[in-house]
Structure 1
Amino acid sequence: MQCDYYDAGRCRSCTLIETPYDAQLAAKHERARAAVGEGPAWDDPLASAESGFRNKAKMVAGGSVDEPRLGILGAGGSVQDLRDCPLHEPAVAAALPVLAEFMTAARLVPYDVTSRRGELKYVLVTASPAGELLVRFVLRSTESVPRIRKHLPWLTDRLPHLAVASVNLHPTHSAVLEGAEEIVLTERALLPMHVGDAEMYLRPQGFFQTSSQMAGALYTLAASWTAKLTYRTAWDLYCGVGGFALHLARPGVEVIGVESSHEAVAAATASAAGVGTGVRFEAGDATAFALGAAQEPDLVVVNPPRRGIGADLAGWLEGSGVRHVLYSSCNVDSLARDLTAMASLRPVRARVLDMFPHTEHFETLVLLER
């Protein structure tokens, strides 16, 4: 992939961009094999599109009202504009220049990290596979909300595929991306995300995989690997908006998804309504849920953050009678540590899915069998 920003030294986020993509993929595959071991049957790594694959943009607001910038925070607190980043899906790429214009139209003053003045901190954009958009404005206060509401018809006219718009209030000066309070500005609060074989929904504060293409492949692979397993009960821990749970659903099976984010659980519950009975979601800590459960399931799916599932949950799984575990990991180091703690669960199948081309990061799916 060729990138003008990288060539000009303005952005170096894609640390592997100078490495041929085939070599990137091979290196990730070998790293995963070294971490997990040679025991499982390894499928060939699943390649991504090299550009235009990111369904979301997390853009720092900078510049001024009349000359806005959307990009990344650079040295000295300045913002490097990255509106033409080649990683973004076409719908996201087309929206960013319009959103920069909207900053001027609605007189949204970019937040300056050095002086700690201004209102607009971030503009967050997510595109669905159908091309609809969810746009969030992260503000320091409600001062700009009336102007955003006033000019929202202008924005929806320029972006006819805008489905959900919201304001997130983030009053503190910190590196955290968003605050706790969300104000939905549109009639709709759910963005449909048809991925794999499921119609999922995303709320403004919900998490979704960075690449819709690879998310669909991940869920489809999970369904394929578990198709011949016998299970009557299944848990999807760290379930997000329910992608794995919805793909594990089958007649006569009870599937429970657990996620700490109430927003994600609300979206997942809306998705479950479309598949009938047998799938439900609840908000809570994955480890606490497992340790406090009265009965063990036949199958457990875990899709934790980079830190992994940790010693307590790994220890519970090791001592349980759970027959199969499907582990989706974005960090092979924590994956390897967790697998060591679950020695009685043997990896039988594994595959690398390149969710993040041109970086060291990738997803690894492993099926474990007792």
Structure 2
Amino acid sequence: MKKNNIYEIEITGMTHEAMGVGKVNDMAVFVQGAVEGERVIAKIIKTAKNYAVARVEEWLSVSPGRREPFCPVYKRCGGCSLQHMTYDMQLKFKHRVVADNLERIGGFKGIHVNPVIGMNNPMNYRNKAQYPAGMGDSGPIAGFYARRSHTIIDSGSCGIQHAGSEKVRNTVMDAVKGLKTPVYNEETGEGILRHIVTRISFSTGDVMVILVVTREEVPGLDKLVQKITGEIPEVKSIILNINRRRDNVILGDTVKTVYGSDTLVDRLGHLTFHISPLSFYQVNPVQTVVLYEKAVEFAGLTGTETVFDLYCGIGTISLFLAEKAGKVIGVEIVPEAVDAAIKNAKVNNITNAEFYCGAAEEIVPRLYGKGTRADVVVVDPPRKGCDSALLETMVKMQPKRIVYVSCNPSTLARDLKHLAANGYGLSEVQPVDLFPWTEHVETVVLLSHKKPDDFISIKMDYSEDRETKPDRVTYKLIQQYIE
């Protein structure tokens, strides 16, 4: 198989990156933009030893799961990857990604995964936008990165962002052009404005604007602030974030409030949260409530339990848990987020939650060493998953239940495999769609500790005397038999 060769390919599956999968002469071919169930004419654009990558030249048959993208720059923009699929097919695709990872990486054969909980209206759901700024063909521009590159695309109206974000971007860029504020050049490191970041409270409509810049003194800043606040009265906070790093990290460590409040106030369910510029906060508030309520349900609280909430951020899950737990201990590595978590507990009159600042893999072993135990552990780690030291401490602590919230099915499966090998069984797996039109999916998993008196089902082939052999045995019975 050679580059630029053209083949007719039947698409029989999908990769986890949403490319169609077919075969040519027994070699796997990954076809960009193709959907399972289609037949296409495709051109080979890349070859490797065991596979090839192709691009569709012509559709011979079209899947009922295909739809026209609603975004005019969808094929170029790197923000969305599933706009060519119907929403129902997206949910089925994400379900398969979760199930495949659990089986392939976790080794869980035949595990039941609940259908993905989707949105009633999967449009304009994001409360946060991050627009990189740079020079375009006709001057300064702010938009989204093109797929697999750092070329900036003027996205126009984005169907997954809150309309307020686009208004902020346009207003800031009008001011930047008028003030002749230099935008950032990634190659040279020159320029001032790197990113425009917006955070929007869906409950109040208030807006926080974060201007990521390369220096603390920005020429014409007062005029820029006046223009933003004059044209967008919903803006209640403007923050300068100083980032002098020469890498792809968007936010720096230094923040300076130049207008209004240091935080943005939002509500999830009946709880109020103060969100600081650097704090992690889920981007889809509608589905976040669904996710957190499912996590609380899985925790199975009666009002007496001590619960550890690890990677707790600003205390969002912690406070949902605290209403039904005896005590909640939250652990978070970002000091600003811990301060916000403490503040959020006070704002909501919650007195049975306390928070520790530090790495979970360091704080939890320390608490365990001092005799603090958890009946239930809730973890919501970053994409890289849980640290091995943390997993080991969780196993030693032997909580009755572990609720694992994950944004990465592969690291989720890896960590669940470790927990399953150390006495925990998967009781329920529930994916939740927080990111419509993208391949990303959140999953919440309930793990229950297998006690010596728990029954497990067994399958055996008996040559004789089957009546005397039980269909179910406990771990204790197995141990007695071995001894």
Instruction: Please say whether Structure 1 and Structure 2 have the same fold, judged by a TM-score greater than 0.5.
Output: yes
Residue 60 of structure 1 corresponds to 132
Q: Distance in 1 between matches of 2:98 and 2:149?
A: 37
For the 8 Å contact 2:303–2:325, the answer to whether it is kept is no
Structure 1 residues 347 and 231, CA gap change in structure 2 (3 angstroms): farther
AA aligned opposite 1:139? V
Describe the SS at the equivalent of 1:263.
helix
Q: Distance in 1 between matches of 2:149 and 2:72?
A: 22
Match of 2:259, SS? coil
Matched, 1:288 2:365: no
Q: Tell me whether 226-235 or 258-267 shows the greater mean CA deviation.
A: 226-235
Task: State the 1:359 CA deviation.
Answer: 2.2
Tell me which residue corresponds to 1:5: 73
- More helix by percentage: 1
Partner of 2:115: 44
> What is the alpha-carbon root mean square deviation over aligned residues?
2.3
Could you tell me which residue of structure 2 aligns to residue 208 of structure 1?
281
**Cα distance, 1:270–1:230 mapped onto 2, change above 3 Å:** closer
Residue equivalent to 1:18: 84
How many aligned residue pairs are there?
A: 367
Residue 159 (str. 1) matches residue 232 (str. 2):
yes
Q: Which residues of 2 match residues 268-347 of structure 1 at below 5 A?
A: 268-273=341-346, 274-293=348-367, 294=370, 295-343=372-420, 344-347=423-426
CA 1:346–1:142: 2 relative to 1, 3 Å: same
Which structure has the larger Rg over C-alpha atoms?
Answer: 2
From 234, 237, 241, the counterpart of 1:168: 241
Aligned equivalent of 2:447: 368
Counterpart contact for 1:61–1:68, Cα < 8 Å: yes
- Deviation of 1:120 after TM superposition, in Å, equals 0.5
Instruction: Indicate the residue corresponding to 2:143 in structure 1.
Output: 71
Query: Is the contact made by 2:242 and 2:255 (CA closer than 8 Å) also made in structure 1?
Result: yes
State the match for 1:238 in structure 2. 311
> Deviation at 1:345?
1.7
Higher relative contact order (CA 8 A, sep 6+): 1
Q: Which runs of 5+ in 1 are unaligned?
A: none
Q: What is residue 188 of structure 1 aligned with on the other side? A: 261
3-state SS in 1 of match to 2:364: helix
- The SS at the match of 2:374 is coil
Aligned residues of 2:78 and 2:145 also touching (Cα < 8 A):
no
Contact 2:404-2:444 at 8 Å conserved across structures: yes
C-alpha distance in structure 1 between counterparts of 2:242 and 2:111, whole Å: 46
Equivalent residue, structure 2, for 1:350: 429
Displacement after TM superposition at 1:251 (Å): 6.7
CA distance in 1, matches of 2:378, 2:388: 16
Q: Secondary structure at the match of 1:4?
A: coil
Contact 1:235 1:256 in 2 (8 A): yes
Q: Distance in 1 between matches of 2:332 and 2:116?
A: 28
The more displaced of 193-202 and 86-95 is 86-95
CA distance in 1, matches of 2:424, 2:198: 40
Deviation string for 1:202-230 (max 9, x for gaps)? Answer: 10111111211111211122223335556
Q: Distance between the aligned counterparts of 1:47 and 1:150, measured in 2?
A: 43
Q: Which moved more, 1:340-349 or 1:44-53?
A: 44-53
- Change in Cα spacing, 1:216 to 1:99, as seen in structure 2 (3 Å) is farther
Partners of 1:161 and 1:78 lie apart in 2 by: 31
1:355: how far off? 1.4
Separation (CA, whole Å) in 2 of partners of 1:38 and 1:214: 29
Equivalent residues of 2:304, 2:327 under 8 A apart: no
- SS of 1:111's equivalent? coil
Aligned equivalents of 2:304, 2:179: Cα separation in 1:
54
**Does the 8 A contact of 2:207 with 2:237 survive in 1?**
yes
Q: Paired residue for 2:337?
A: 264
User: How far off its partner does 1:335 sit?
Assistant: 0.8
1:347/1:76 CA distance change after superposition, 3 Å = closer
**1:132 matched to 2:210:** no
**Whole-Å Cα distance in 2 between the matches of residues 357 and 290 of structure 1?**
34
Measured against aligned partners, the alpha-carbon deviations of 1:275-315 in whole angstroms (never above 9, x if no partner) come to: 33111222110111111112111111100011110322112
Distance 1:264 1:226 in 2: 23
The question of whether the paired residues in 2 share the 8 Å contact of 1:197 and 1:247 is answered with: no
Unaligned runs of 5+ in 2: 1-68, 103-107, 450-483
Aligned-residue sequence identity (percent) comes to 28
Q: Which amino acid aligns with 1:23?
A: M
Q: Distance in 2 between matches of 1:280 and 1:222?
A: 19
1: distance between equivalents of 2:246 and 2:379? 33
Q: CA deviation at 1:35?
A: 3.2
TM-score by length of 1: 0.92
> Per-residue displacement from partner, 1:99-147 (whole Å, max 9, x unpaired)?
2223234432111123332111111111111221111111111231x52
